[in-house]
Structure 1
Amino acid sequence: MTLSKRIQGLALSAAALLALGACTTDDGDSAVVEGDAAEPETEAVSTDVTGEGQTITFWHAMGGDLGLAVDQLVDRFNETNELDITVVSEFQGTYDDAITKLRSASLGNLEADVVQIYDIGSRYMLDSGYVVPMQDFIDSEGYDISQIEPNIAAYYTVNDDLYSMPFNSSTPVLYYNVDMFEEAGVDGPPESLSEIEDMHDALVNEGGADMPIALTIYGWFVEQFTAKQGLDLVNNGNGRDDVATEVSFMDNDAMINILEEWYALYESGAAPNVGREGGIPEFVSGQAAMTLASTASLSSILNEVDGSFEVGTAYLPAVKEGDDGGVSIGGASLWALESGNDEKEQASWEFIKFLISPEIQADWASSTGYFPITTAAHEEDVFKENIENFPQFQTAIDQLHESSAESQGAFLSVFPEARQIIENEIENMLNGVATPEEAAEEMAAQINSAIENYNLINTPE
């Protein structure tokens, strides 16, 4: 690898860089870019290097129990790899903290060799010019990527080249209190948002719920509801055919559809305003009959409920009955960074291969609730046992498999800022400051301005 591509990253505007730190997320969105969209150049990795004896640094954003799980994987690699490669694991804080530190380091020396970046940071990583695409290693080695879940692999693919390796992937699901539904005589979870309002009286009066659903104000859910409608968030093929220049959710009514349904639920009392931190707390305490959350939240939800009621899972509800879209994955992926040292870069690849091996992915998925990104992991005993013990997780797998490439979501340079804008305007709507129409219009105006500012300085050649 050469260091020349890293220079491209210095052209990123300060405003665009600050936008990437605008919000913190556990799950998010990204997509495939095709056609004329800008992409980094790929080049072959030397086949003469092995990475033997190298020490590499891995930056990650997994805290708490997830961080312990990551450290266990790192220790396992260090103890078992036959090339005497040593990985130093360094926790960076939130996803936003990790990418902020990476930006600062890139101006001098990159202090990491492998970095975990959330999905909505993918556009920044591609624009930065200091990554080694996974495809370089794959082509050099003839590595078989058919084992990777197609809908997950495509998520991080640009013009048929895989640029980062998926690691912790998830989708949103509906969590519901089975006991409350049975007490209320409600036959199964809702398939659309409008059905939630229909269940309101029964769940409250007969089921004992304070509220039918606790809806977290979270931009990721808005993106998912857009995909569920089969509609685009931004123009130019949702930012895949070419760089997005403006939102499309006003022209196709995707946003107004979401906001009108959300506001109707709020106004009827079916979905009170629980803010950005609510949702799961109201559900696990038995106040709400339902909530939306990541599949990765399953373990913690079950632990907090602690058997006080039966937890069920269902597909993300459609916005309106008849919507035929799907869901897109969230989470983060692993990026290999250029160092000017082919041996270190090869060592990074060896570590990444270890992390996506079927055995490791089965262990990782079973201990965290994230998807195993390799299909072969489903055949591992530990994963089979996990599904048997926690059948709720099968819902997420089925939902992923029933979705398609068209549901992968937007590819957007200012995604973190866009999420913040969306969340702010939903709060304004629920607080009576704006109507659904006014909130949607303000979202469009602010996001379009952010996109324009970014593209003025980062126009692809």
Structure 2
Amino acid sequence: MRRFFLVALLMVAVTLSFAKVKVTFWHAMGGGHGQTLQEIVNFFNQQHPDIEVEAIYIGNYSTLQQKLLAAAQAGGLPTISQAYSNWTAKLIYSKIVEPLNKFITDPKIGFTPTEWQDIWEPMRLNCTWDKTVYALPFNKSIYVLYLNTDALTLAGLKVPESIGELKKAAILMTEDFNGDGTIDQYGFGFRSTVDHFQVFLALNGGSILQKGSDGKWKVTINSEESREVLQLMLDLKDKYALVQGGYLDGPFGEGKIAMFIETVASKPYVASSSAGKHGWTWAPLPLWKTQNALFAGTDVIMFSTAKDEEKKAAWEFMKFLISPEITAYWATKTGYLPVRKSATETQIWKKFVAEDPAAEVPLQQLPNGVFDPQLGVWAEIRTIVGNMVNDVLFGKKTIAEGLKWAEQEITRELQKEGL
């Protein structure tokens, strides 16, 4: 009898082991970020013996997007994936992204209204199309101003709080230290990409597109705000600002630039490149006509191709991923933002801020956070704007010619999609 009982227990154990629900999670988090994500996945799996989340590193964002689009056509989608909102918008049209409202409002496994409101409002809005939620925020960042504190002190300057002060500081911190006629330290640096144009445009109260009350998109790039942004970039280029297409944490660490604007996700790279060379800090973006701060980063979406039990298991993981303690841990390890307000009340975050008070600076900008239009063709529009910015900066087009061309090309892109 005892032997029979032991065999029965063994059979139950074997059955339970095969009853695990598998959740596949495609992501683009490499290096230290990927290691931290795997730690979180392992912790979840330990706490949920009935669920196995497998985090699969696909490569960079471009590779992940290509694989998602290919899988959407040919099959083989994961249960969940990282995605930018424009990817999500494109996939929504194919009806393969699972709406999350029924999970969010479920009295047993969902969020209470207070918990849902606990997610920073711009992040919630960025995950919502009309009244349907298709994503939960994950690795979110926001642009800040990075400063070489040694250079700032040497020039006798304070942290610039306005665009006028930023321009003045860029001029005063541009130095030819050895007098050989070559600039050794530029006061500022920016990338010749759509991103930095967008950052300045948001601060100046402008936009590339605006959605009207009729739901139609209007092209608004050919504006006085855009002209002012491009003129500022031209005024700074070469004389007071180093301009390049690649990331600027390297030149900043080497002392070639004294200030630059980038997302908080650059923090680990800035700290590494500056170590033993000079001090640094970050500050809120300077005031122009507004203090609008551009968001960046991805969300997590679920696919409707998954089985019901996989969706429920995936939802448990998605909720876990943005729980206050986990999002706080993720933020302290990676430099990304905690996506919940209550994360700032956790011991993990409080200890982190006690050791590095500047960590709270990006949070000051969250009430002014703005994000990209949630359009499936946004990648194409970004390419158009990026080409225009390069053409203007490098003398291929005047400001007027560039903006007129971009307006026409964006309008054509929207018309192709019937938007």
Show the 5 A alignment for 1:185-224. 185-192=156-163, 194-205=164-175, 210-224=185-199
Amino acid at match of 1:156: C
Q: Structure 1 residue 248 and structure 2 residue 223: aligned?
A: no
SS at match of 1:90: strand
Whole-Å Cα distance in 1 between the matches of residues 175 and 27 of structure 2? 46
Which residue in 2 is equivalent to 1:331? 297
CA deviations 1:350-387 (Å, max 9, x no partner) are: 11011111111111010001111111211111211222
By how many angstroms is 1:241 displaced?
A: 5.8
By how many angstroms is 1:59 displaced?
A: 0.5
Q: 2:35 aligns with which of 53, 59, 68?
A: 68
8 Å CA contact 1:298, 1:393 repeated in 2: no
Which residue in 2 is equivalent to 1:183? 154
CA deviations 1:280-311 (Å, max 9, x no partner) are: 22111111110111111112211221142221
CA 1:197–1:326 in structure 2 vs 1: closer, same or farther (change >3 Å)?
Answer: closer
Amino acid at match of 1:160: K
CA 1:202–1:305 in structure 2 vs 1: closer, same or farther (change >3 Å)?
Answer: same
Whole-Å Cα distance in 1 between the matches of residues 143 and 70 of structure 2? 32
CA 1:333–1:154 in structure 2 vs 1: closer, same or farther (change >3 Å)?
Answer: same
- Where structure 1 has 5 or more consecutive residues not aligned to the other structure, the ranges are 1-51
CA deviations 1:37-87 (Å, max 9, x no partner) are: xxxxxxxxxxxxxxx7211110011111111111111111111115x1011
Which residue in 2 is equivalent to 1:311? 280
By how many angstroms is 1:214 displaced?
A: 1.0
Which residue in 1 is equivalent to 2:25? 58
Which residue in 1 is equivalent to 2:141? 170
SS at match of 1:140: coil
SS at match of 1:395: helix
SS at match of 2:417: helix
- Where structure 2 has 5 or more consecutive residues not aligned to the other structure, the ranges are 1-18, 179-183
Which residue in 1 is equivalent to 2:332? 366
CA deviations 1:105-148 (Å, max 9, x no partner) are: 12232330001002332321332211112212112234221221
Which residue in 2 is equivalent to 1:136? 102
Whole-Å Cα distance in 2 between the matches of residues 309 and 347 of structure 1? 47
Whole-Å Cα distance in 1 between the matches of residues 186 and 280 of structure 2? 16
> Structure 1 segments of 4 or more deviating over 6 A?
none
CA deviations 1:176-227 (Å, max 9, x no partner) are: 11111111111222521x4333234431349996111110123222223222
SS at match of 1:215: strand
Which residue in 1 is equivalent to 2:181? none
8 Å CA contact 2:252, 2:273 repeated in 1: no
Deviates more, 1:443-452 or 1:58-67: 443-452
Which residue in 2 is equivalent to 1:147? 118
Amino acid at match of 1:242: G
SS at match of 1:86: strand
- Bigger strand share: 2
Whole-Å Cα distance in 2 between the matches of residues 205 and 87 of structure 1? 53
Whole-Å Cα distance in 2 between the matches of residues 66 and 286 of structure 1? 26
Which residue in 1 is equivalent to 2:13? none
CA 1:391–1:299 in structure 2 vs 1: closer, same or farther (change >3 Å)?
Answer: farther
Whole-Å Cα distance in 2 between the matches of residues 381 and 206 of structure 1? 47
SS at match of 1:176: strand
Q: Which has the higher contact order (CA 8 A, sep 6+)?
A: 1
8 Å CA contact 2:85, 2:374 repeated in 1: no
8 Å CA contact 1:149, 1:375 repeated in 2: yes
CA deviations 1:308-347 (Å, max 9, x no partner) are: 22212122234xx4x0241132100000101252111111
CA 1:224–1:198 in structure 2 vs 1: closer, same or farther (change >3 Å)?
Answer: closer
Which residue in 2 is equivalent to 1:81? 48
Amino acid at match of 2:190: L
By how many angstroms is 1:276 displaced?
A: 1.1
Which residue in 2 is equivalent to 1:98? 64
Show the 5 A alignment for 1:429-440. 429-440=392-403
Q: Structure 1 residue 294 and structure 2 residue 263: aligned?
A: yes
8 Å CA contact 1:224, 1:409 repeated in 2: no
Quote the sequence identity (%): 26
Whole-Å Cα distance in 2 between the matches of residues 369 and 282 of structure 1? 20
Q: 1:348 aligns with which of 291, 314, 322?
A: 314
Whole-Å Cα distance in 1 between the matches of residues 373 and 75 of structure 2? 31
Q: Matched residue pairs, number?
A: 391
CA 1:431–1:78 in structure 2 vs 1: closer, same or farther (change >3 Å)?
Answer: same
By how many angstroms is 1:433 displaced?
A: 1.5
CA 1:203–1:254 in structure 2 vs 1: closer, same or farther (change >3 Å)?
Answer: same
Whole-Å Cα distance in 2 between the matches of residues 175 and 356 of structure 1? 27
Show the 5 A alignment for 1:223-242. 223-237=198-212, 242=215
Which residue in 1 is equivalent to 2:380? 417
Whole-Å Cα distance in 1 between the matches of residues 77 and 22 of structure 2? 12
Amino acid at match of 1:442: W
Amino acid at match of 1:281: G
CA 1:212–1:389 in structure 2 vs 1: closer, same or farther (change >3 Å)?
Answer: same
CA 1:200–1:422 in structure 2 vs 1: closer, same or farther (change >3 Å)?
Answer: same
Amino acid at match of 1:376: S
Amino acid at match of 2:155: A
8 Å CA contact 2:377, 2:413 repeated in 1: yes
TM-score (norm 1): 0.79
Q: Structure 1 residue 377 and structure 2 residue 343: aligned?
A: yes
Whole-Å Cα distance in 1 between the matches of residues 315 and 174 of structure 2? 53
Amino acid at match of 2:38: D
8 Å CA contact 1:124, 1:413 repeated in 2: yes
Q: 2:362 aligns with which of 396, 414, 431?
A: 396
8 Å CA contact 1:164, 1:334 repeated in 2: yes
Q: 2:246 aligns with which of 255, 268, 277?
A: 277
Question: Which structure's CA Rg is the greater one?
Answer: 2
Q: Structure 1 residue 265 and structure 2 residue 236: aligned?
A: yes
